[in-house]
Structure 1
Amino acid sequence: MHSVHFTAETSSNGVRERDFTVGEVPGALWSPSTGSGRAPLVLMGHGGGTHKKAPAMTGRAQLLVAECGFHVAAIDAPGHGGRPRGAHDEQEIAAMQQAMAAGEPVGPIVVRYNAHLAERAVPEWRATLDALQELPEIGTEGPVGYFGLNMGTAIGVPLTAVEPRITAAAFGLHWPDALAEYARRITVPIEYALQWDDEHIPRQSGLALFDAFASKEKTLHANAGAHKELPRFEADSAVRFLARHLGRAVTSSA
């Protein structure tokens, strides 16, 4: 079993950011700058074509740390960020680019590729969680949440379906095709966001995935707008949702 190996550290505005590796998988861990007490851990999955420290990821992590005192971890998905692309990655990316250039639906390719990435990423996430829980400031007793949209949902749904340590999750913006079967195995509280006018994911597809979750407590947030127009306040909502279910009070007006 691999342990966490820290490679860099910075601190700003009360948030401590540490780069790490677990085996060959690079990640980032955000924590409160002060205080040594244990706190819940939130795992964050990034979107397709981005990486663990993309601006949206960093912003969400800072919200979760500053407002709830959580630890927040993200890792680069296979073929993303600091990880090399393989021949299969290049093939699928080229297929997506060709479909977009031709004005053809890109959804079937994205679903297929994301399902492939999830098969590789779920074991990596579980190994990363094992390693993070060895840290004294996290430990094995505290609750664990998950927050991921788009590809972060494609990986997070199968992860949550098999990982009993995750006790609440915020998802959104994905097709049900490869995920509905996993969603039916998930019973923890869920918050799900979709865009009512999404040009890639028909609203009925988003509703079908939400409906598939077996959770007794699940909340749907549907906003007007296109795929990339998810309101920023949805991040604030996800923070409040995770705070409620992981046992922390939000300390700001958000």
Structure 2
Amino acid sequence: MYAMQFTAQSSSNGMVERDFAVGGVPGVLWSPPSGAGRAPLVLMGHGGGNHKKSPAMSGRALRLVAEGGFHVAVIDAPGHGDRPRTAHDEREIAELYRARAAGEPEGPIVVRYNAHLAERAVPEWRATLDALQTLPEIGEAGPVGYFGLNMGTAIGVPLTATDPRITAAVFGLHWPDALADPARRITVPIEFAMQWDDEHIPRASALALFDAFGSQHKTLHVNSGRHKELPRFEADSAVRFFVRHLGRASTPPA
């Protein structure tokens, strides 16, 4: 097991932010103020081209910490944030930009590249979760959720399918091509978001991925709008989802 190394700490907006590294993979852990009791953990996966502290990640973390009392952890995906790109990363990104400039479908490239990233990221996430659960404020027995859209779904679906510690998950905005098989192995509660007018992911594709999940407790959230127009209130819904399925922070002993 890799040890967790904390490299920086700060506090703002009523939550504590700690930078860390596990096996050389950089991450950030947002937590309630010190002195709070043991709390559930939510792992978050960032989108493609972003990083662990992108506005979407810090904004969702603030909601999860403030409204649910959760700990929230994000790591940089391979080739993102503070992690260097490989030659394979550079080729795939160049091909994506070429297709975009030519007006060609991006989906086949994104699906292929995200599947490659997931193969690398899932073991890193499992090692990170091992390390996080050694912290007394999280613990080995505490409930764990996962929240990731776009590339965060591409990584989170195979992660959730293979790690029984994750007991609830929020996914969305992805194609089913590489994810339908692992989705069928997921039986924990699921909330799934899609955009009805998504210019990249056809409605039938998004619905096919939702339908593939093996869970008996899954909810589909459909909003009008294009791929990047997912309403902000879906983040609030995710908080309520995790409160229902993970509980809240416990009260510290007197």
- What is the TM-score with the length of structure 1 in the denominator? 0.97
Structure number with the bigger relative contact order (C-alpha 8 A, sep ≥ 6) is 2
Q: Alignment length, in residue pairs?
A: 249
Give the match for residue 3 of structure 1: 3
Query: Would you identify which runs of 4 or more consecutive aligned residues in structure 1 move more than 6 Å?
Result: none
1:60 and 2:60 aligned: yes
Structure 1 position 246, deviation (Å): 0.1
- Write the distance in 1 (CA, Å) between the matches of 2:101 and 2:36: 51
Structure 1 position 80, deviation (Å): 0.2
> Which ranges of structure 1 fall in alignment gaps of 5 or more residues?
250-254
Structure 1 position 14, deviation (Å): 1.2
- What is the TM-score with the length of structure 2 in the denominator? 0.97
- Write the distance in 1 (CA, Å) between the matches of 2:63 and 2:157: 22
Percent identity between the aligned chains?
80
For residue 146 of structure 2, give the secondary structure of its aligned residue in structure 1. strand
Give the match for residue 224 of structure 1: 224
Deviations 1:23-63 (A, max 9, x none): 11000000001324211000000000000100010000010
Give the match for residue 252 of structure 1: none
Give the match for residue 240 of structure 1: 240
- Write the distance in 1 (CA, Å) between the matches of 2:190 and 2:233: 17
Deviations 1:148-186 (A, max 9, x none): 000000000000000000000000000000000000000
**Residue identity matched to 2:226:** A
- Write the distance in 2 (CA, Å) between the matches of 1:113 and 1:34: 40
Give the match for residue 252 of structure 2: none
Give the match for residue 37 of structure 1: 37
**Residue identity matched to 1:201:** I
Once the two structures are superposed, the pairs formed by residues 39-188 of structure 1 within 5 Å of their partners are 39-188=39-188
Deviations 1:3-34 (A, max 9, x none): 11000111012100000000110000000013
- Write the distance in 2 (CA, Å) between the matches of 1:98 and 1:190: 35
Once the two structures are superposed, the pairs formed by residues 175-214 of structure 1 within 5 Å of their partners are 175-214=175-214
Indicate the RMSD between aligned Cα atoms, in angstroms. Answer: 0.8
**Residue identity matched to 2:15:** V
**Residue identity matched to 1:183:** A
- Write the distance in 2 (CA, Å) between the matches of 1:18 and 1:147: 19
Deviations 1:67-116 (A, max 9, x none): 11100000000000000000000000000000000000010000000000
- Write the distance in 2 (CA, Å) between the matches of 1:127 and 1:225: 37
For residue 11 of structure 1, give the secondary structure of its aligned residue in structure 2. strand
For residue 62 of structure 2, give the secondary structure of its aligned residue in structure 1. helix
Deviations 1:119-170 (A, max 9, x none): 0000000000000000111110110000000000000000000000000000
Moved more, 220-229 or 6-15: 6-15
**Residue identity matched to 1:131:** A
- Write the distance in 2 (CA, Å) between the matches of 1:68 and 1:241: 10
- Write the distance in 2 (CA, Å) between the matches of 1:134 and 1:34: 17
User: 8 Å contact 1:14–1:34 — kept in the other structure?
Assistant: no
Deviations 1:210-231 (A, max 9, x none): 0000000000000000000000
For residue 126 of structure 2, give the secondary structure of its aligned residue in structure 1. helix
